[in-house]
Structure 1
Amino acid sequence: MMEVKPLTIDGHPYVSIVVQLPYTTLLIITNEIGYVMCGALDVDVLNDKLRDRPVVAGRAVGVKTIDDLLNGKLEKVTHTANKQYGWKKGMPIREALLLISEKKE
C-alpha cells in the first residue's frame, strides 16, 4: 500500500509518502528542493556514486511513522544539503525542512 498526503509545516507545503513494503515501511517527507527519509535512504550512494547530482537529502533512523520522521533528528545528510542549506547530523528534521522552504521564497 502507498499513501501520499499533503503536509504543512509552519505554513510551508510538503508531501508525505508512506510505502508499505514487506517487513518494512518507507517514509518520505519532500518538497521541490529536497527530502528526508527513513533509514532506507543510502546517503553514501548519493554522496559517492551520484555526486554529480546536487541531491538535497537526509536520513533518520528508528522512525516508524511520518510523525516520528518529522519529529526525529538527521542521522546523515548529503554534501549538498550540508553545504547549501546547513543540514547537519543531529539537526531536528522539522528545522531542516524549514530551511529548504525558506530558501525558495
Structure 2
Amino acid sequence: MITVNPLEVDGMMFTAIQVELPKTNLIMITNETGYIMCAALDVDVLNEKLAHRKVVAGRAVGVRSIDDLLNAPLEKITDASRTYGWEVGMTGKEALLKIA
C-alpha cells in the first residue's frame, strides 16, 4: 500500500509518503526543495554519480514511521543539502525546517 498525506511541521507544509513493502517500509518526507528518507536512500549515488543534479536529501537509519523520521538524527546527507545548513546528526525536523 502507498500512503501520501500532507504533513504540517511547525506551520510549514510537507508531503509524507509511506510505501509498505515486504518486510520493510519506504518512508520519506518532501517538499519542492528536498527530502529526507529512511535508509533506503543511497546518498553516495546522489553525491558521486548524480552530483550535477544537486539533490537536497538526507537519510536516517532505523526509522519505522513518519514520526521516527522527523525525530531521528540524519546519518548521511548530500553535499547539496549543506548549502541549506544541513549537518549530519541534526534531526529530520530540523533539516526540513531549513528548506521550508
What interval of TM-score do these two structures reach, taking the shorter chain for normalisation? over 0.9
Aligned-residue sequence identity (percent) comes to: 60
Pairing 1:25-64 to 2, within 5 Å after superposition: 25-64=25-64
Runs (5+) with no aligned partner, structure 1: none
Map of 1:7 onto structure 2: 7
Map of 2:96 onto structure 1: 97
Partners of 1:96 and 1:72 in 2: CA distance:
11
Question: How far 1:54 sits from its partner (Å)?
Answer: 1.0
Partners of 1:19 and 1:78 in 2: CA distance:
22
Structure 1 segments, 4+ long, off by >3 Å, are none
For normalisation by structure 1, the TM-score amounts to 0.93
For residue 21 of structure 1, what is the amino acid of its counterpart?
L
Partners of 1:46 and 1:65 in 2: CA distance:
24
Render the CA deviation track for 1:44-82: whole Å, top value 9, x for unaligned: 000001011010000000100011001111100000001
Map of 1:67 onto structure 2: 67
For normalisation by structure 2, the TM-score amounts to 0.98
Partners of 1:47 and 1:69 in 2: CA distance:
21
